[in-house]
Structure 1
């Protein structure tokens, strides 16, 4: 007997939401398995929170469907009420009730005779059982976030939706709270959809990233693949600083001061952009390659003049004005490397880390 593959815990198909006739969410589809964390990543205003609101049931799509465990819960005619969707919600402001104790907040909405016992067990899992009779204003921001997590998990939701839940936390606390939250969510086996505009947060937490722009998902995959194989220049730039060389294709090749680059699939005469990150630039004092950050560089070195150098904590950022066209390129070097402005140096590129994209008008 052949085992059947279980359906995704959460699946959305071709969701569209318009405001004043303009699509804010435009044909968005994704699926999440139990225990999987997917990050919906993108800039403010790209449609992330609107997508979350439709899944939660507090907003209604103009078209498309939403499914939980293979069962339809919402289309444009049929709609399961929000309270019956087995979906937990966490927001950046925590939304705790100030007039209820910590234990009462966690137990809010639970049924049964042992609501306090359930609240105490969950608070114990987040290390806050001793605050069960305190009020939210007695707690720090990180502690309130953990109470909000315990409250969201109390009904044992199949799906957890999280909208920028860590943005209100101090940077020193954020990493620890994120890791604790992720561990607890994995233990519960919920399918998690996390909305964030911070690439670092998505890379740290997600099993899969769905990169969103102007209402559409432009790329979806594992963090490593999204980072190292970007769909376009915009996807690459969202995760880090980039350098861009302009060129035009002739015979499937593009000439640059760093040598020729292949431009597969681009017709002759069309413009392309060669995009690379600052950490993939090698700096040398001379053309022989005696610089501070040797790499697997290839091709022709090009000379640049140091404009500025800054120490960033774990690395140094050096900006060069290139002699061939005056363009400014950035390079990063591990540790401290602060050459004086006006110093001439030779730059080479990691060919295996350069991406060639058709130029957009």
Structure 2
């Protein structure tokens, strides 16, 4: 017989069997590597960071993703200790490092920080830059510096100065310097934004591999969804100082919290409608809107890659199907080749709205061409319209 706990937060990972009597064990629960609780930061009375809570397990990468000005970097600065919260607490391995009364100095938090501009010291060599935060015997420091520079492939630059290195090489030196003291947490503030697009993906992958090898927990700040999807174990989507959704990248993308969350990851199309009997009538047929009262306004949101295109056959389109719904006709307004796909914009006959569709490879119909569009029902999101 297995005793199953009522509260999984406090009872984790055991399989206690009953023999002579019931006996439940309470093993220690490992605390998160980094935990922030109810952080608030006010500037001139306005909450720039508003009740933000977050936890990161050892060796995991969490991404704070959101538009500029949403509070991402301010959150990072409070964790690093270069800014102070108005309320809330910060913990590392279960130990309080900062609240509104108690505060561990930044240099004693075992937290590394990487900036957008790498912030290397120009008057120090590559080796001296990496050794900057280390203490102890010279031989021990040299061993650590050599080990890290070997792992990032830059040992042969140990005696060179930063100005002689490329942007990608400087980024790897900055990473080695941040990792040298073996921080338990690494904070990264858009560290790849200054790199050439051709280098960025490779540098991201190398950086992630090294951080995983070191077992460092990472909190990465970015406004680029692709970067978050590529690097993160978990994404925390921020807007107006608050976390509006948290989850694995796949879940955030496939089950967005609202229209704005869908739009942050890709272009969107939006149909407007009013609910009657749990149904919304549109040019593409009826959509189910369970839980929305009659007369409620809703928005039906879908991505351009989930729009099907078919040719006009003398004023007729394809037959309706359960999955694709009813086709609606539109005229091509613009078509552009984007490199790996084509983006086509249509002016819809029904209401004059413009809808976008993407098609793999080259598809460039002439402006004014009549075509029929369908929308995958299982790829649509229906949200109550915000006032």
8 Å CA contact 1:249, 1:266 repeated in 2 = yes
Whether contact under 8 Å (2:317, 2:372) holds in the other structure is no
Two-structure CA RMSD over aligned residues (Å): 1.3
Matched, 1:208 2:239: no
Partner of 1:72: 96
What is aligned with 1:254? 280
Distance 2:133 2:376 in 1: 56
1:68-114 superposed Cα distances (whole Å, 9 cap, x missing partner): 11111110000111001000000110000000000000000211122
CA contact (8 A) 1:166 1:174 kept: yes
Q: Give the 5 Å matches for 1:57-68.
A: 57-68=81-92
Alignment deviations for residues 196-228 of structure 1 (CA, whole Å, 9 cap, x no partner): 000000000000000000000000000001011
Matching residue within 85, 92, 102 for 2:109: 85
In structure 2, stretches of 5+ residues that fail to align are 1-24
Aligned residues: 357
The answer (yes or no) to whether the contact 1:242–1:276 under 8 Å persists in 2 is: yes
Alignment match, 1:334: 360
Q: Give matches, 1:219-234, under 5 Å.
A: 219-234=245-260
Give the match for residue 142 of structure 2. 116
Aligned counterparts, 1:149-160, within 5 A:
149-160=175-186
Look at both structures and tell me which one has the larger radius of gyration over its CA atoms: 2
User: Is 1:9–1:159's contact at 8 Å kept on the other side of the alignment?
Assistant: yes
Name the CA distance, whole Å, in 1 between partners of 2:27 and 2:208: 30
**CA distance 1:98–1:296, change in 2 (3 Å):** farther
* Secondary structure of 1:83 counterpart: helix
Corresponding position of 1:33: 57
Q: Secondary structure at the match of 2:30?
A: coil
CA displacement at 1:297 relative to structure 2:
4.2
Separation in structure 2 between the aligned mates of residue 64 and residue 73 of structure 1, nearest angstrom: 11
Q: Write the distance in 1 (CA, Å) between the matches of 2:249 and 2:81.
A: 28
Q: Please give the per-residue CA displacement for 1:287-317, whole angstroms capped at 9, x wherever unaligned.
A: 5549xxxx99421100000111111111111
2:265 is matched with which residue? 239
2:130 corresponds, among 86, 96, 106, to 106
Q: Does the 8 Å contact 1:297/1:348 carry over to 2?
A: no
How far residue 2 of structure 1 moved from its aligned partner, in angstroms, is: 4.7
Partner Cα separation in structure 1 for residue 237 and residue 228 of structure 2: 10
From 227, 230, 243, the counterpart of 1:217: 243
The answer to whether residue 13 in structure 2 is matched with residue 16 in structure 1 is no
Does 1:325 find its partner at 2:348? no
User: 1:360 and 1:306 mapped to 2: Cα distance?
Assistant: 30
TM-score by length of 1: 0.97
Q: TM-score scaled by structure 2?
A: 0.91
**In 2, Cα distance between equivalents of 1:281 and 1:110:** 56
